[in-house]
Structure 1
Amino acid sequence: MAKQISVEVSNMVAAALMLLLGVLVANPTTVQSIGVCYGMNGDNLPQPSSVVSLYESNGIGAMRIYAPDTATLQALGGSNIQLILDVPNGSLQSIASDPSAAAAWVQSNVQAYTSSVSFRYIAVGNEVIPGGQAQYVLPAMQNIYNALSSAGLSGQIKVSTAVSQGVLGTSYPPSSGAFSSDAASTLGPIVQFLASNGAPLLVNVYPYFSYVSNPGSISLSYALFTSPGTVVQDGQYNYQNLFDAIVDALYAALEGVGGSNVGIVVSESGWPSGGGPAAATVGNAQTYNQNLINHVGNGTPRKPGPIETYIFAMFNEDLKSPGIEQNWGLFYPNQQPVYSINFS
């Protein structure tokens, strides 16, 4: 009898393992690797080939760059690092007004590298909504999309734009999240474009800025993912960290303009290690970014499941404005870590 039970248990275990293997095979890319933004505003940064090696050696599976860069695109060849490539803000007007300019941009900066570079998204503009250039974003997105489609690439490379969390006019409680009137007039049609093409909205999410602008109402632990329990109760949803609250406010805002099926990719998030208010410390930066990495696989109360997220930034950049702007890097330009971080 004992032997029979043992055999039955073994068969059950084997069946469970086979079922689990089937699930893993069916969903090989359920969890996206954490990404890191590669800003190049420095005169002492390593060569792109060394940067790509640094990504690989640290297990960083995705990168964002803010403009096409030939050396970086060449260095990424064969690396399997997923890429967000920005159409820089200075190119928006010309690409919006001239489909041939969009086609030339795609030809030079995307098609020329698709055999070896894993493009994931084209971010058409960064944080230009609302603002004077906002009018160019959607037509530029449409022209880039059409150029990708003509090249047979629209199925594998999604077109979006990156916005700041400042597009929210209402963010508290998260379920009442809504775009500001200035942003909504531009974002409404953009969200419809994203929905029709199965593309996410890229959003730069910074609990740091929310905290330092309102430290009397927001606790540091809530911003750093270290609160021991619920801080905000919003109906059925319990919020223990500010990151989730911001992302869910953005999801509510998307629903408000007909984008209930549009996902969010966090195209920037991070914490400065110095150069600013008292909260900008190495310890807080390490705590925030490590907790961010550990957390995003779980999703938010409103949207469980992995959140594709890009940390800002790879390096401290000395040509940025003095202060915190020069102190967002995970690494110094000599490739030594500013603090230890585990990307796995």
Structure 2
Amino acid sequence: MAHQRAAAMLAVLGVIASIFAAGTALWPVSAGVCYGVHGDRLPSAAEVVQLYKSKGILNMRIYQPDVQTLLALKGSKINVLMGVADEDVPRLAASTSAAADWVKVNIQPYLPGVLFQYIAVGNEITGAATQNIAPAIKNLNAVLSATGLDDIQVSTAVRMDVLSSSSPPSSSTFKDGNIKDVLAVLNSTYATGITAPLLVNVYPYFAYTGDTKNIDLNFALFQPSSTVIRDNGLNYTNLFDAMVDDLYAALSRENLVVPVVVSESGWPSYGGVGASVTNAQTYNQNLINHIRNGTPKRPYWLETYVFAMFNENQKTGAETGAETEKHFGLFNPDKSPVYPIKFRMIHVCKGCGFQ
């Protein structure tokens, strides 16, 4: 099955040095993009899929199952990270039969044409509801294994505030028992040969706006800056790397073998402090170019999804400011670019490394 090859590829990328030594051929990879739908006059799902393909975007995140999107993805060869809607998580946590029904309705009808890579059990779930995440992942894993679909990896998408401390990165720790329960479930998949990653939404933009006095804008934008974080022999010249390595350090502290996938990262082009077309273009293009080299702690390809494909004028966000939430898009609803952006397809192949 094609999505088995895609999942295996990502696991192999985690040990990229040994692969080069062995001269093993791999597949092309690129940054992914989150496909949000909270906007007026957005293109049809079929048009969106064609836009992804025309830009060389090989990975799409959708936040819950959508029939038209899944039908449009059939045969596209785009890898899919699909979410379970937050409101459905308690039901999937309650029983394997509910999880089986979810898979039967939302996964099986679209195989083999849709390349399901990950299922995200909720997005940034907080509070008491987090207790449902680990059992929901377990139930979905059991169903996928029973139906021969255990190459689809199940995780959840979290915010950076799952950490109780994060500066310097080596001091990072996870703050509560529920996230540790989730991580234990993810770590248990190591025995299958493909460890499900922790999906994390990483936003230097919000870190910057939360502390403009002490965080240099250039440091947040991957631009030359006088700021350098030195930590146990590693030097951090941008905020994104420091934030991602916060997570790797916390995972190491728990002795967990769990990779990290950045399930969202982006910069708004309008509506708040530091939000401009120039800054959004700078951050997102630098992000796309940067992830090929990973972070100081993990210097290899870091799977990352840019947020988001379109400006979404119906989006709200009380915590961060509704206006900026509407302007994270790379494209306008008419498919015109908000600013020029180039996706770099990276080929990992015998004798050539990253191209």
Q: Structures share a fold, TM > 0.5?
A: yes
In the alignment, is residue 205 of structure 1 matched against residue 202 of structure 2? Answer: yes
Distance (whole Å) between structure 2 residues aligned to residue 67 and residue 240 of structure 1: 36
Shift of 1:132: 2.2
1:101, distance to aligned residue in structure 2 (A): 1.1
Where does residue 275 of structure 1 map in the other structure?
271
User: 2:219, 2:225 within 8 Å by CA — same for their partners in 1?
Assistant: no
- Aligned equivalent of 1:26, options 19, 24, 27: 24
What SS is found at the alignment partner of 2:154? strand
Counterpart secondary structure, 2:120:
strand
1:233 to 202, 207, 230: 230
SS in 1 for 2:298: coil
Q: Kindly report the root-mean-square deviation, in angstroms, between the aligned alpha carbons of the 2 structures.
A: 1.5
- Which of 132, 139, 142 is 1:136 aligned to? 132
- The answer to whether the 8 A contact 1:162-1:267 is kept is yes
For the pair shown, the structure with the greater C-alpha radius of gyration is: 1
How far does residue 22 in structure 1 lie from its aligned partner after superposition?
8.4
Contact 2:216 2:227 in 1 (8 A): no
SS of the residue corresponding to residue 292 of structure 2 reads coil
Write the distance in 1 (CA, Å) between the matches of 2:209 and 2:109: 43
Paired position in structure 1 for 2:298: 303
Deviation at 1:32, TM superposition (A): 3.1
**Aligned-pair CA distance for 1:98:** 2.1
Aligned position for 2:341: 341
CA shift digits 1:251-277 (9 cap, x unpaired): 111122231x21000000000000112
* Identity across matched positions, percent: 51
Kindly indicate whether structure 1 or structure 2 has the higher relative contact order, using CA contacts under 8 Å at least 6 residues apart: 2
Structure 1 stretch 323-332 or stretch 247-256: which is displaced more?
247-256
Query: 1:224 deviation in Å?
Result: 0.2
3-state SS, counterpart of residue 175 of structure 1: helix
From the superposition, tell whether residues 25 and 82 of structure 1 become closer, same or farther in structure 2 (CA, over 3 Å).
Answer: farther
Letter in 1 for 2:330: L
Q: Distance in 2 between matches of 1:302 and 1:230?
A: 18
Preserved contact between residue 216 and residue 225 of structure 2 (Cα < 8 Å)? no
Q: Deviations over 1:86-115 (max 9, x none)?
A: 011010111111211110111111111121
Equivalent residue in structure 1 for 2:183, among 179, 186, 191: 191
- Secondary structure, aligned partner of 1:162: strand
- Report the CA distance shift for 1:59/1:24 in structure 2 as closer, same or farther (over 3 A): farther
2:241 corresponding residue in structure 1: 244
Whether the aligned pair in 2 keeps the contact of 1:34 and 1:61 (CA below 8 Å) is: yes
Distance 1:267 1:75 in 2: 22
Match of 2:92 in 1: 95
* Structure 2: 5+ residue stretches without partners: 1-18, 190-194, 317-321, 345-355
Alignment partners' CA distance in 2, 1:112 and 1:59: 26
Change (3 A) 1:276 1:158: same
**Which among 100, 104, 108 is matched to residue 107 of structure 1?**
104
**Residue in structure 2 matched with residue 117 of structure 1 by the alignment:** 114
1:75 alignment counterpart: 72
TM value normalised by structure 1: 0.89
Match of 1:165 among 160, 179, 193: 160
Measure the CA separation in 2 of the matches of 1:208 and 1:87: 26
2: distance between equivalents of 1:123 and 1:38?
14
CA gap 1:24/1:50 in 2 versus in 1, 3 angstroms = farther
Question: C-alpha deviations, 1:12-37, integer Å up to 9, x for none?
Answer: xxxxxxxxx986961403x6321000
Paired amino acid for 1:295: H
Secondary structure at 1:78 match in 2: coil
Q: What letter is aligned with 2:326? A: Q
Q: Which residue of 2 aligns with 1:43?
A: 40
Match in the other structure for 1:4: none
**Cα offset for 1:153?**
0.5
Distance 1:208 1:248 in 2: 17
Partner of 2:315: 320
1:86 is paired with a residue of what secondary structure? strand
1:257 has 2:257 as partner: no
Give the drift of 1:210.
Answer: 0.3
Q: Report how many aligned residue pairs link the two structures.
A: 316
Deviation readout 1:298-331 (Å, 9 max, x if unpaired):
0100111000000000000111124001000000
Question: How many angstroms apart in 2 are the aligned matches of 1:335 and 1:160?
Answer: 31
- Give, as a single letter, the amino acid of the residue that structure 2 aligns with 1:326: K
Segments of structure 1 that go 5 or more residues without pairing to the other structure are: 1-20
Helix, strand or coil at the partner of 2:293: coil
Deviates more, 1:224-233 or 1:131-140: 224-233
2:277 corresponds to 1:292 = no
2:329 corresponds in structure 1 to 329
